[in-house]
Structure formats: structure tokens, C-alpha cells
Amino acid sequence: MASMETEQQPQQTTEQIEVKTKRVQCFIDGYNLYHAIEETGNKALHWVDLKSLCKRYLPKNASIDNVFWFSAKPSHLSRAINENYQNYTNALTECGVDVIGGRFKKKNVTCEADNGCGGVFHKHEEKESDVNLAISLVSGACNDEYDIAIIITADSDLCPPIRYVRERFPNKELWLVAPPGRIRRATDLCSLSSRSMEIKKDALRACCMRDEFYKDGVLVARRPQEWRAVANTRQRRARSR
């Protein structure tokens, strides 16, 4: 009687059954987030660790490779404001955030209102930050540097690069995370994105950084006093209850 042979099923290796970790890059529109936080009335929330904030929105089996913060030094404003900016950028760098700088450009504006004075006024406009973000987002997709891009903004000027990446690289996921209170201003962005959500004030509060950063024993960043006021006031109220 012939023996019956059973077909041996190949065993799966660890590599075959392991779930692939998704690579995540985060792209943050610095001034869009800044102005949204200003509108909350709580300046203490400006001192936020953006890398920790982005981690709150990570899916399972995902890891952050890079966090890019796009902004510009407000050289035309007061010394105190520039010191705040420098302290914050230094703190972000210590937390592992890549700071990508733009610039402000002076622009002449003529008063053209009815019965207006016709005078010429000077204003400064932020330049390059949106372009830098768009270039980084598109080049990252072209070079296959991420599986998921988390984009923090509510600026509709970023619709074209998001649309391009979605159409050209349908396997890439683009998640829109709107700054606090701005999800309704981002309807076009939401419609183009794989997912959309909004940053809550509690998330910002939970991700605030420590007050001081030292490198090789030297102070490199300190939380501005005016960015502590609201938090300290609330702490005093809580202790007095």
C-alpha cells in the first residue's frame, strides 16, 4: 500500500508576519499655529513641544522620522518678540524638531478706501514658509521618505501641494491636523486629506515643555515670562481652592 504524503506548508518567518512600521513626517505651519494659539487667549500654550504634540496623533505601528517647523524670524518687530522667537526655536531644536526658516518682506500698501487718504503705508508679509512646506511635502513623497504626512495648518494655500501628492502618490496618507479653533476654516484642506482632526487646548497644555534648556551646562532656551503668566495664574487659583 502506497504511503500517503502530506504536503508541507511553508512556515512564515518573523519577517513575513511582522507588521510594517509606517514612517511619519510632520509638517507644521508655524505662524498659522501661532496665531491660532493667540486666539485662545492663553499665551502659555505657545511653549509647546511640537514633537510630543505630533506623537499624540500617531496611529499604531507608526514612528516619527522628522518634525519640520516652518516659520520666519520677525526681525522687524521688537527685541523682546525676537528673543521669544529665538528661545522657542532653540527649545524646539533641543526637542528634536527641524526648524526651517523663511523671512519677512516689507511691502508698500496704498490706502484706496472711499474718501481715503491715499497715503502709502508699510507692512511686512511672511515669505517662503508656505513654499518651503510645500516643497518639503512634495519632495518627501517623491523620494519615498514617508508613508504618512501629518500637516498642521488651516491655510488653503497648501491645497495644491496636498492635491498633487494625493493624486501622484495615492499610497501616501496625508493627515490634516488643524490648529485650535480653525477646523471650520480648513474645509478645502479637509476634503483633500486622508484624515482630518483639530488640535484641542488640552493637548497643547499637556505638551508644554520645561521652562529651561541647558546644553553642556549653558542655558540655551528659557520660557518667556509672558508665556508663563496664564499658566501660573491658573496654578495659583487651583491651589487656593
Q: What pLDDT digit, counting tens, does each position of 25-74 carry?
A: 999 999 999 999 999 999 999 999 999 999 999 988 999 999 999 998 77
Q: What is the pTM of this model?
A: 0.80
Q: Which residues pair with 28 in a beta bridge?
A: 69, 152
Is the Cβ–Cβ distance between 145 and 65 less than 8 Å? yes
Provide mean pLDDT across the span 72-96: 86
Residue 14 belongs to a domain = no
Taking the C-alpha atoms of residue 228 and residue 226, their distance in angstroms, rounded to an integer, is 5
Residue 81 belongs to a domain = yes
* CATH number for the domain that contains residue 37: 3.40.50.1010
> What dihedral angle (degrees, nearest 10) is formed by the CA atoms of 30, 50, 45, 161?
30
Count of structural domains within the chain = 1
Residues present in the chain in total: 241
Taking the C-alpha atoms of residue 241 and residue 238, their distance in angstroms, rounded to an integer, is 5
* DSSP-derived secondary structure letter, 209: P
Residue 11 belongs to a domain = no
Residue 43 belongs to a domain = yes
Residue 42 belongs to a domain = yes
Residue 213 belongs to a domain = yes
Domain span at 207: 19-240
Q: Match 500637516 to its residue by C-alpha cell.
A: 151
202-215 pLDDT, tens digit per residue, is 999 999 999 999 99
Is the Cβ–Cβ distance between 152 and 33 less than 8 Å? yes
